[in-house]
Structure 1
Amino acid sequence: MRNRLSFIFIFLFACLSGCSNYKELNGISIVVGLGIDYNPSKDLYEVVYQSINPSENTAQGAGSGATPIVTYKTTGKTLSEAAMNTSNVISRQNIYSHIELVIIGEKLAKKESLNFIFDVFERNASSRVNVPVLMARNSDVKTIMDILPSNDKIPVRTILGKIKNASDSLGEHGIIKIYEIIENLTGLGSEVAISGISVLGNKETGTTKANLETMRKTYVKLDGMAVFRRGKFVGWVDGKKTKSLQIIKNKIKKTNLRIHCNKKRYNSVMVNRLNSDSNVDIKNNQVVITIKTNTYGYISELLCNKDISKKKIKKEYERKAERELEKEIKEGIVAAQKMKSDVFGFGEILHYKHLSKWNKSKHHWDELFSQAKVNVHVHMDIEGTGMRIKPYPY
């Protein structure tokens, strides 16, 4: 009896311990980049996939000379339908758990709300929501994803590296992920802003291997910030104005300030520490936004014949840096006010600090924000001058 029970147990264990969802590697396609766009002439949604070509990404061997990635596109009346239509295009099953970047098309953003676009991501258990998002600018998504870079085999990873580099070193572009967009769409008092990306150079050459063989390369570059209101795309913010969002949300790690030293020349101050505190209130039916920012940095370039070792000169440069940063923050907020989009989350701050006032104003917060009074106070400490104190004679 005991032997019979042991045999049954071993038999059941062998049957139940198998890999029920086992898939052969040569039967799957690992998708690392996903693009979503819209074709207005056909009234169809387009989904672009960038998957790895295994034979061209091996550690050993030279490969066959093909491109290291495979990019293809499917269409449908819904995003799910377009995704299912991949079975008509490729012989392998897509695996979405390794997606590293999602790019939204400008045409799609003008037609549909972000609520529609990201609904499918939150419902689908096979896709992650901690993936960075960018928005295509002046180009379709597939062209941007097709541009072959010279310093990395996988275009999507090159783009991802640029976002991280710009976020860490420049401060004008931040990384926003799917779950953060969903939080802004479903939350109160905060709108969505997504960094843009465009193509610089010849698009036709950039999508071929000829781009790797010329010095006049076509490449993709981060380009402005897309602003949304209630999920709808309303416009772009460019240049240093985009820095204000990273400063106010305390996401900035490092940035550079250009300050006048005389009528013709500038100095550079590298900000390497920054902390902002925002307060929002409603007084006499007007929203009052107060931002206090403490910054610390060092002189990274000195092009004036002034002795920085003197306390008076150091204070002069600190005040100029304060005014420059105040200007950049204010210009960014004014740009958002013109679009009536509170991408900074000031409404969310009012909601937490003054609940009764928020309840009275939340239904017309867009209007109140656009007419808000903004006060910006910056305190700057220059803590060093680099490896040299005295300037060269000019």
Structure 2
Amino acid sequence: MTAPGGGDDPLLPGGSAPEASAPEASARRQGRRRSERRRRRRLWIWITAAVLVIVLPVALVGGYVLWLGSSFDDTVERIPDAFPDETGRPPAVAGATNFLLIGSDSRSGLRDPLSGGATGERSDTLMLVHIPADRSGVVVVSLMRDLWVPIPGHGEAKLNAAYSWGGVPLTVQTVEGLLGARIDHVAVVDFGGFGDLATALGGVKVWSDQAFTSKNMPGYSFEKGENRLEGSAALAFVRERYSFPDADYQRVRNQQAFVRGMLQGFISTQTLSDPGRTQSAITTLARHVAVDKGLTASVAASLALSFRGLAPDAIHTLTLPTAGTGTSPDGQSIVRVDEARVEVLRKALVADDVVPTLKRGALGDGRN
């Protein structure tokens, strides 16, 4: 059927609408353009909102982290010559990192380590913190202070004498010679830092093998099992040795428990989600530690980020294998090195195979 005027009837199937006049077509085009502009405006509003909601907080957090890093780098003391001469040092293992932690028995703070020379003070605590390339865990190896070992330039002596005779560089050189492994970073912590760090972290959870009352710092008692430590209680816990039949051996295990708890405290959700606690922990750490020049906040942050979600049982602790106590030629009470098992550890460090070696039991039960 044909509509008047010769066109198809628009009311019938196959029909088409009559052509609009020029003004009507122009109005339709303008309407479509206005509608498109409104859609584009809404789209940009949503994009802007997304930027504000997502990008801005990330930028603020990033800026906060950078500020914390800058605060650490500006506050922490640097050891000017932390390492011995490069000649003869063990090679680095790609991807793996070894830290040497030195706890000084000096009550005068960190002045002595900064000289880079003889301190006149003996290192009260020595720990190797090994981080494998695959970041499968952290291994903390305690080195008994009375180990009878070769000290370059001085013959055989107790391990902690190296710090007295040659400060940080000689201590690093001695430990590298003992373990056959390169020390990548070194940190000296004064004893006051243990208590302050525990407080800054809101308390540190430690596991004690036995109940005891401190004789070194009277007035502090600890239960068998889990204890939450802050302030001077933490200091009493890591210092005590007179209350134990095996003296320094148990003290070393307690120090390992504290370091384990401290590491867990630093990477815990409670700390990382609380800017105030994070700031307090980092600034407290900076006040009580002296580190080598290469241990910057960015290096530490990079390592910390690689351990996000690290399970507590991925932090392993052991005491460098020993062969019991004895007497030195000059009459000193000493601890002997278990050469066979230490050689196993040396090979594991070189092969970056420490965690599997420890799990296989090749280093003993980790207690001595």
TM-score, length of structure 2 as denominator length? 0.24
RCO higher in 1 or 2 (8 Å CA, sep ≥ 6)? Answer: 2
- Structure 1 or 2: more helix by fraction: 2
TM-score, length of structure 1 as denominator length? 0.22
